[in-house]
């Protein structure tokens, strides 16, 4: 949603594809689409939305457009859910990604970007996580599908000459975020008086990255003339891991409430710490995420109160 709105504001028309599945509240997903359309109307740009699955014949219709870039951010998300429903990840993240690759081959786009994940690093990679790490020990099936995407994209460069940019996102947060992720769960508990489970007793760390920083990276990588035409992978993270308890304390500060906590052991598939090395991104496009956690959470809490 944020990426679409940013492209509209930069003067581009946007074609969106979403199957609106029910992994989490469909109403939130549809409200995001409404928000994109509202921005498009205000700006005077074109936004066309197709409600269809990646593994459908929608690609026949999309061939009629003259795209300048494809930004593939669709996936079945969630580390823990991948343990319960692995087939959903196979269908969306593997077969769906294959469908996107085949479309890119047919249309020969100028830019093809797709979402990977910091979860591909697993527990064995050295800190901070560098794109040169082997990433051969994923901790979850979700992470395995994201690593598979990177390898699929690389093979398509060798066999089809298709350049690609894979983006390893680090714990994205901000307005309109997923309700199954910690920021909204924590905000809900603070404002409505519920209790949260604090995994691994709160000692784990995450490289929380504000959504606007993610989008800025996508925009710059899409239009930069400095990008080699190869199968590339970049970290997009704050480069500053934060203790989970510190993150919770900032939410408490901006919500004005103390959250009830239940400290529990780490869940399967979780890693102790994520810490992005963003040297490569900075050297190539002179960019690194810069939004301070205090500011990002303040904006997020204001949105949460206004939306919910």
Q: Torsion angle, CA of 22/26/29/30, rounded to 10 degrees?
A: 140
Average confidence score pLDDT of the chain = 94
Domain that holds residue 93: 52-177+208-240+275-291
- Among 35-44, 193-202, 204-213, 237-246, the range scoring the smallest mean pLDDT is 193-202
Does some domain include residue 256? no
> pTM of the full predicted structure?
0.94
Q: What pLDDT was estimated at residue 51?
A: 98
Structure tokens at 175: 């307005």
> Strand pairing of 242-243 and 205-206?
antiparallel
Does some domain include residue 78? yes
Residue 24, phi then psi, degrees to nearest 5: -140, -175
Asked whether residue 79 carries a pLDDT value surpassing 90, the answer given is no
CATH number at residue 152: 3.40.50.720
Average pLDDT over residues 118-141: 91
The torsion region of residue 135 among left (phi > 0), alpha (psi -120 to 50) and beta comes to: left
Does some domain include residue 280? yes
Percentage of residues in the chain having pLDDT higher than 70 = 99
Q: What pLDDT was estimated at residue 123?
A: 85
Number of domains in the chain: 1
Asked whether residue 236 carries a pLDDT value surpassing 80, the answer given is yes
Task: Specify whether 142 is catalytic.
Answer: yes
Instruction: Return d(Cα 172, Cα 207) in angstroms, integer.
Output: 9
Average pLDDT over residues 275-302: 95
Does some domain include residue 187? no
Does some domain include residue 14? no
Instruction: Return d(Cα 275, Cα 272) in angstroms, integer.
Output: 10
Residue tagged active-site, from 114, 121, 141, 142: 142
Does some domain include residue 184? no
């Amino acid at each position: 949603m944020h990426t679409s709105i940013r492209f509209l504001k930069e003067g581009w028309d946007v074609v969106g594809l979403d199957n609106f599945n029910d992994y989490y509240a469909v109403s939130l997903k549809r409200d995001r689409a409404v928000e994109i359309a509202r921005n498009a109307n205000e700006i005077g740009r074109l936004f066309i939305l197709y409600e269809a699955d990646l593994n459908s014949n929608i690609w026949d219709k999309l061939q009629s457009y003259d795209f300048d870039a494809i930004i593939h951010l669709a996936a079945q998300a969630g580390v823990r859910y991948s343990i319960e429903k692995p087939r959903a990840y196979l269908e969306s993240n593997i077969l769906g990604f294959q469908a996107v690759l085949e479309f890119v081959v047919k249309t020969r786009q100028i830019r093809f970007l797709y979402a990977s994940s910091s979860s591909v690093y697993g527990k064995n990679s050295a800190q901070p996580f560098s794109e040169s790490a082997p990433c051969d020990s994923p901790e979850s099936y979700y992470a395995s599908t994201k690593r598979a995407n990177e390898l699929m994209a690389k093979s398509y460069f060798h066999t089809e000459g298709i350049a690609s940019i894979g983006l390893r996102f680090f714990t994205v947060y901000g307005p309109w975020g997923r309700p199954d992720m910690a920021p909204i769960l924590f905000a809900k508990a603070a404002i409505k008086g519920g209790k949260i489970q604090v995994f691994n007793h709160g000692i784990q760390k995450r490289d929380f990255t504000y959504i606007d920083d993610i989008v800025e990276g996508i925009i710059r990588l899409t239009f930069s003339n400095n990008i080699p035409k190869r199968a590339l992978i970049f970290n997009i993270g704050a480069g500053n891991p934060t203790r989970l308890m510190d993150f919770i304390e900032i939410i408490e500060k901006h919500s004005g409430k103390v959250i009830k906590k239940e400290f529990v052991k780490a869940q399967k598939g979780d890693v102790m710490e994520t810490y992005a090395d963003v040297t490569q991104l900075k050297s190539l496009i002179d960019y690194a995420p810069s939004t301070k956690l205090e500011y990002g959470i303040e904006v997020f809490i204001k949105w949460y109160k206004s939306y919910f």
